[in-house]
Amino acid sequence: MSRAAGSALLMCLLVMAVALMLGLSGARIALQEERAARNDRDRKTAFQAAEAALLDAQRDIEQPAGASPRAALLASAAPVFPAGCGAGAANPLLGLCAGQGAAPAWLAVDFRDEGEATMRSIAYGRFTGQAMPAGGGALPARRPRYLIEAYPDRRAGSSADLAGAGTLYRISAVGFGAQEDTWVLLQAWYRRVGGG
């Protein structure tokens, strides 16, 4: 009789161990899926913030020529931007970069730099007055940023002479997720409306 009771106890312990292993495995899978969903949501937040920064840059480029010296420069047929990008919060050329370098300007710019004298990218709404909440809950950790590079607009079938070619802008925008280490870079080419 005690032999049968001992084997029943052993079987119960084995069944409980298997059930415990299955429970732990299920909990680990659920945690991994939750983490993956959180990372996906964070990346989508960063993507949407970067898209908003692209639109803000287009608004910046499209400001009427008389609105500011910056707007007049962006509206000119052949704007001259500083090599290496305009830097500093008080600089009206902030985030405007010459597009004719050995390497694209967006590769050399630290989009996370928000130092008053050293920043070279433009925070969302800086020149357009647009607002975007950031820094809490599921919101982006910080406002998205962008920079604008100017290139001659070389259209197919046009003269090889660049005089009067117009300007094509490459916008590079970075959006941040709820976690600051999640960010997305988007780029777009933009031609000013009525710019030829």
- 109: Cβ contacts below 8 Å, ≥ 6 apart: 85, 97, 120, 121, 147, 172
pLDDT tens track for 16-50: 999 999 998 888 988 888 888 888 999 999 999 99
Helix (H, G, I), strand (E, B) or coil at 40: helix
Q: Is residue 55 part of a domain?
A: yes
Helix (H, G, I), strand (E, B) or coil at 96: strand
Alpha-carbon 132 to chain mean position:
14
- 173: Cβ contacts below 8 Å, ≥ 6 apart: 50, 51, 53, 54, 57, 144, 145, 146, 185, 186, 187, 188
What's the pLDDT at 80?
84
Q: Is residue 22 part of a domain?
A: no
Specify which of 56-70, 81-95, 172-186 reaches the highest per-range mean pLDDT: 172-186
Q: What pTM was computed for the model?
A: 0.78
Domain that holds residue 158: 41-190
Q: Is residue 10 part of a domain?
A: no
pLDDT tens track for 165-190: 678 899 999 999 999 899 999 999 99
- What is the token pair recorded at 159? 């003269």
Q: Is residue 102 part of a domain?
A: yes
Q: Is residue 30 part of a domain?
A: no
Residue 12 has a CB neighbour count (10 Å cut-off) of: 10
- CA 11 – CA 13 distance, rounded (Å): 5
Give the number of domains in the chain. Answer: 1
